[in-house]
Structures are given as C-alpha cells and as structure tokens.
Structure 1
Amino acid sequence: MSVIVTGASGFIGGAIARALADRGETVYALCRRNPEIPGVNFQHWDITEPAPAAVTSLAKSATAVFHCAGIASVSADDDELYEVKVTGTRNVLDAFPQSRVVHVSSTTVYSESEPHAELWEEAGPKDPNDFADAYSRTHALAEQLVGRLRADAAILRPAAVYGPGETMLMPFLSRMSKKGVLRLPGGGRQKITLTHIDNVVRAALACLDVPSAAGPFNIGDPIPYRLKEAVVTHFARMGYDQVVIEGVAKDKALVAAKLGLKVKSIFKRGDFAKLFLVRYLQSDRTYNLSRQQRVLGISTTQHLIPSRLQ
C-alpha cells in the first residue's frame, strides 16, 4: 500500500512527504519536478492535465492522497491559479476515486471584508465571487469542489505557515524592509494566528491515524501572536536581517499599496503581493483551533514567544 503527495516539491508538500517517509510509509510524489526526498518515489505529473496511465496505475494501492499542490504566489496569473487549484484538484480527485483525501487549503477562504476573530470552520469558505483576488477565490473554489465530490475528505486550513523553507509571509515581510526598518499597518499590533510547518505536518499525519476525520480544520500554533513580536523573534531565529518595526496608519497603507500597484501596472511591473498583504493585515486574524484537538487528537506547539499582551 502507498501514500500519494501532490506538490511534494513545494514547502508544505515536501514537509509532509518527508514525514510520511520517515515513519515508514511508501510515498509517491506526484509533481512537475523531482523533489529529491530520500525514501520518496517520484512520478512526473502536471495536475492541470488529466492523469496519465503511470499515475492512475497507482490508484489501486493508494490508501491516501495528500493534495498539497498549489502556487506559492498571490501575484500569479489568474488563469494559472485556476488551472492548478481548481482544474488540478478535480484531476486529482478523478485519478484517485477510492483513496482517503487530505486537501491542504488555507484560511484565505474566509471573507476578507469581515473580522477574523476566533473564526470557527463554518465561517468559510465564503462565496468565491466575494474575493477580490484570484489566490483566495481559487482556494475557496477548490474547497467547494472537494466538499461536493468527496464529503469524507479532510480539509486542512493552516493560517500563515512559517518555518525552514518558508515561501510566503515572513520572506515577503523581510523583502519589504528598507534600511533595517519594516513599516507595518498599525505597527504590527494586530493579533494573528501563525502556523509552524511542523504543526501542519502533525495535523496531516493525524488525518491518516483518524480516517473518520472529515471536513475543514483550522490549523495553527495554539496561541495567537502579536505580529511585531512574532516577526522580530522569527527573523532572529531564521537569520534574516534584523529590523526595527514602525507603524503606518492602516488606511494610509492600503491607499499607498493600491496606488503603488496602479503605478507599477502602467509600466507592466504590477505586483499584487503588497496589496494582498496590506489587506491581510488590516485587522486581527485569529482562528478557533479546538477542532484540530477534539477530532484529530493533536496538540500543536507554540514555536514563537507569545505576546506579553495576551
């Protein structure tokens, strides 16, 4: 018997594939490039295309599919995001109709216009038409697809994921800093749930151990952080250049990001990432995590120092 991991050449998929191999599972990585993970078998597949025979032949022995494939850029082309997250998800479900499905999603499926304060899983996904960006919209569409076709699937919604090999939030914040100063909306005082990659892996493995677990699960470090404190602590641990955090009014930051995107777009250098981040940091982003413990039976670890203001 075997376990399938799509997107194993990426940050989350690679971590899950390594953990599965370490615990003795026969693992097949289905992706466009070889992740070169010891103990993991590679099979080329671009999931935007129907599965070739070499992939469908694995279905008979595949007990579970961890669907982690995605695009780690909020600025990616809309059509490309749709092809990977929506068409790709449909192709994966079709290729493995009998296997246990663990679908890796994101807390971006919750409404961007409402406060994220201890949100329970039933708060999302919101209507995909309500999202201004294709990254969130396609995550919501993919979740809806999984829910319709595989009601018994587990859907993991990690909040902003960080750790060795990270690709999104923390690296982008590091690139935003100028001359050792990082300006954050509201001075980084917002409370935010973050998810260390080890906690994502712990939740994923629990989905194998608890095959009856179905539906969405918020995944995160157990206690929300004050963003500014989490950034300073994490930057020090990861070897990023240290920064001094300064505040900028949230509305001013949002206007500046929109203007910056418009100006850059004129010169065909538009980058949606900064606007996405500023929108993301307009308010607290915290999620109720009780279901991960109650149903999956896991307790996650607080990898960064919690705020003194908790």
Structure 2
Amino acid sequence: MAVIVTGASGFIGGAIARALATRDETVYALGRRDPEIPGVNFQTWDLTEPAPESVKSLAAKASAVFHCAGIAEVSADDDELYNVKVTGTRNVLDAFAKARIVHISSTTVYATTEPHADLWEEAGPKDPNDFHDAYSRTHALAEQLVMRIRPDAAILRPAAVYGPGETMLMPYLSRVAKKGVLRLPGGGRQKITLTHIDNLVRAAIACVDVPSASGPFNIGDPTPYKLKDAVSTHFARMEYEPVVIDAIAKDKALFAAKLGLKIKTFFKRGNGAELFLVEYLQHDRTYNLTRQHRVLGISTTQHLVPSRLQ
C-alpha cells in the first residue's frame, strides 16, 4: 500500500512527507514541483486539473491521502486561491475515493472579526460569504466540500504554524519590523494559540493510526501564548534580527492597514497581507484542543517556553 501527500514541496506537506518516509511507508508526493525528499517518490500533477491516468493508477494502492496543497500567500489572486484550494480538493477527493483522507485546513475558517476564546470546532466554518478575504473563504469552502463528500475524513485546523521552514506569521512579522522595532496591535498582549510544525505532523500521522477519527480537529501547542512573549522567544531561537516590541492602538493599526491597502490598490500594487494580519491580531485567538488529545490520543509540546539564557 502507498501513502499520498499533496503539497509536499511546501512547509507543512514537506514536514509530513519526511515524517512518513521515516516510518518505512511507501510515500508518493503529488504536485507541480518535486520536493526532492529522500525516500519519497514524486508524481507530477497540477491539482487544478482532473487526475491524469498516472495518478489514477495510484488510487488502487493508496491507503491514505494527506491533502496539504495550498497557497501560503493570503494576498494571492482570488481565482488562484479558489482553483488550488477548492477545485484542487475536489479533484483529490474524486481521484482517491476509497483512501483515508486527512485534510489540512486552518483556524482561519473561524470569523476573524470576533474574539476567539477557547473556540470548539463547531464554531466553524462560518458562511464563506462572510469572509472578505479569499484565503479564509477558500479554506471554508474546501472544508465544506470535504465534509459533504467524505464525512469520514479527518480535518485538521492548526492555528498559525511555526518552525524551521515556516512561511507565514513569524517571517511576516520579521519583515514588517522597522529599524529594529516591531509595532504590534495592543502591544502584543493578545493570547494566541500557535502550532509548532512537529505538533501538527504528530496530529496528522495520528489520523492514520486512529482511522475512526473524523471531522474537524483544532491543533495547537498545549497552552496559549502571550503574543509578544512568543515572538521574542521564537525570534531569538530562529536567529531573526532582534526586535523591540512596541504598541500601536488596535483601531489605529486597523485604520492604517485599510488605508494602506486602498492606496496600494489605486496604484495597482494592492496587497491584503497586512490587513489580514492586523485583523487577525485584533482579538485573542485561542482554541479548545480537547479533541486532539481525547480522540487522536496525542500529547503536544509547548515549544516556545523562554529559556533562562534567552
């Protein structure tokens, strides 16, 4: 039997594929680019198109599919996000109708305009029409598709994922720091659940080891962090440029991000990443993790505990 990973050239898919390869599994990576992972076979497939015969031939021997393909840019073109996340998910479900499905989603399926205080899984996904950014909307649509076609599938909703090779939250915060100062809405006092990549990989593999596990699972480090403490600790460990964390009023940050997007859009240089981030950091973002422990049977690690020498 074989195990399939889509999006293995990306941060999350690559980590899952590498972990599966160490389990002496026959692993196939499907996607546009060869992830070049030792022990992982590569088969070309543009997931926005129906599966070619070479991929269909894998279906008979595929025991599980880890569907990790996506676009790690919240400001990517709306059509591109839809084609990859929604059309791509449908094509995967059609191609592997009998395999165990583990679908990687995100906590962005919960509305960003409301506080997230220990949210259970039933709080989302919200109506896709309620999202004004295509990144969150396509994640919600993809989840609804999986739930409708494959109710036996496991759906993982990691909070912001960090670790070696990360591509989103922490690298973006590092880039927006100016002259060694990172201005965070509210001074970074928000409580926020974060997910180390090792914890997400552990949860993903557990979905195969516990084949009865179905539906959505919030995935994260055991205890929420105070954002500014998590940023300081992580920046030090990843050897990012050190920063001093300063405060900007939440309403001021939101107004500036909206105005900046309008100006950039007028000059055809629109980028919604800053607005997405500011909206995300307006409130606490914490999630109830009971199901990852009770159903998947995993214990996760609190990776961003400051060291005494830091």
C-alpha distance in 2 between matches for 1:240 and 1:123 = 35
C-alpha distance in 1 between matches for 2:106 and 2:124 = 10
What is the DSSP-based 3-state SS (H/G/I as helix, E as strand, rest coil) of the residue aligned with 2:85? Answer: helix
Give the superposition deviation at 1:272. 0.5
C-alpha distance in 1 between matches for 2:175 and 2:162 = 15
What is the DSSP-based 3-state SS (H/G/I as helix, E as strand, rest coil) of the residue aligned with 1:222? Answer: coil
C-alpha distance in 1 between matches for 2:36 and 2:113 = 41
Deviation string 1:8-38 (CA, Å, 9 cap, x unpaired) is 0000000000000011110000010000000
Residue 152 (structure 2) aligns with: 152
Paired positions, count:
307
Amino acid at match of 2:193: T
C-alpha distance in 2 between matches for 1:231 and 1:112 = 20
Q: Is 1:254 paired with 2:286?
A: no
Deviation string 1:33-61 (CA, Å, 9 cap, x unpaired) is 00000000000001000000000000000
List aligned pairs for 1:1-310, cutoff 5 A. Answer: 1-305=1-305
Moved over 4 A (4+): none
Amino acid at match of 1:44: T
C-alpha distance in 2 between matches for 1:31 and 1:59 = 15
Structure 1, unpaired ranges of 5+: none
C-alpha distance in 2 between matches for 1:89 and 1:202 = 22
C-alpha distance in 1 between matches for 2:121 and 2:49 = 31
C-alpha distance in 1 between matches for 2:41 and 2:9 = 12
C-alpha distance in 2 between matches for 1:112 and 1:170 = 18
Give the superposition deviation at 1:267. 1.4
What is the DSSP-based 3-state SS (H/G/I as helix, E as strand, rest coil) of the residue aligned with 1:57? Answer: helix
Amino acid at match of 1:128: P
What is the DSSP-based 3-state SS (H/G/I as helix, E as strand, rest coil) of the residue aligned with 1:279? Answer: helix
Give the superposition deviation at 1:113. 2.2
Give the superposition deviation at 1:159. 0.1
C-alpha distance in 1 between matches for 2:73 and 2:299 = 29
Give the superposition deviation at 1:229. 0.5
Amino acid at match of 1:34: D
**Contact 2:114–2:283 (8 Å) recurs in 1:** no
C-alpha distance in 1 between matches for 2:92 and 2:121 = 24
Deviation string 1:249-269 (CA, Å, 9 cap, x unpaired) is 000000000001111111111
Deviation string 1:152-184 (CA, Å, 9 cap, x unpaired) is 000000000000000000000000100000000
- Under a length normalisation based on structure 1, what TM-score does the superposition of the two structures give? 0.98
Amino acid at match of 1:202: R
Among all aligned residue pairs of Structure 1 and Structure 2, give the percentage whose two residues are the same amino acid.
81
C-alpha distance in 1 between matches for 2:96 and 2:264 = 43
Structure 2, unpaired ranges of 5+: none
What is the DSSP-based 3-state SS (H/G/I as helix, E as strand, rest coil) of the residue aligned with 1:184? Answer: strand
C-alpha distance in 2 between matches for 1:236 and 1:114 = 31
C-alpha distance in 2 between matches for 1:23 and 1:88 = 27
Give the superposition deviation at 1:114. 1.9
Deviation string 1:177-198 (CA, Å, 9 cap, x unpaired) is 0000000000000000000000
Q: Let me know the Cα RMSD of the aligned residues.
A: 0.9
